Amino acid sequence: MPTFKLTIAYDGTKFSGWQAQPDRRTVQGAVQDAWQKITSESVQVTASSRTDAGVHALGQVVGVSSATHLTAEQLHRALNALLPPDAVVKRVDAVPDGFHATYNAVGKRYRYRIHNDRCRPLFDRDTVWHVPQVLDANAMHQAAKVLIGTHDFASFQSAGSERESTVRTISCIEVRRVKGEHESLLEIDVEGNGFLYNMVRIIVGSLVEVGLGRRDEAWLAASLKACDRRQAGRTAPPQGLCLMRVDY
């Protein structure tokens, strides 16, 4: 049976997350509804990441097996004609049988955006976290280095989606203040081989504590070592988070 790999972008503001839920508007539900209208098939698509309500994506990857005779190009056009305006299929690729968007992923990159200004954001209010107090981006960047590598990230996992192992590898964390006219914007990029539930948002919430001068690098290292969710910072709100890329 043909298998397709869909790369999808969406504005998560008005979606109740990725995963299909009864009587809820979800990205998975929108994709499956569009697929059924095109092929008359009821399929269950799988995604690389089950993003939460309010979380966005530029590079979500979705896998679907189908008996359709339509080409990848035909499916691409048809899906974009039927999907709502806040979701778009960037590309459709035919892939070998057995491809699984979740289990075959070897790495992901997320970006978190913070509007760091006393004045609240307007046009990008649904895609940033507003932190009015001044943040020290350099201190955040330096402190984040203790999280790079292979560690037990139990302190950075919310309850509700327990995993067999809480060990993950982070290959890169970058914290930077965007130069130019948008210097009020901070971007935090986190790349790794996989992430626990709310892991990136808890990392961001912890780094903000450092940026505000309330905590330091030693605290972040101790929080990591504790393997206790109570020792890390708050969970940053969902709207600042975006899934940028998935590697296979």
CB 56 within 8 A of CB 242: yes
CB 185 within 8 A of CB 113: yes
Residue ranges for the known binding site for substrate are: 110
Find, among 175, 170, 222, 239, the residue nearest to 199 by Cα.
Answer: 170
Question: How many Å apart are CA 169 and CA 172, to the nearest integer?
Answer: 9
Q: Looking at 39-166, which runs of residues are DSSP E strands?
A: 46-47, 56-65, 87-95, 107-115, 129-130, 149-152
Catalytic residue list? 52
> Strand, helix or coil at 8?
strand
Distance of CA 133 to the CA centre of its chain: 25
Residue ranges for the known binding site are: 110
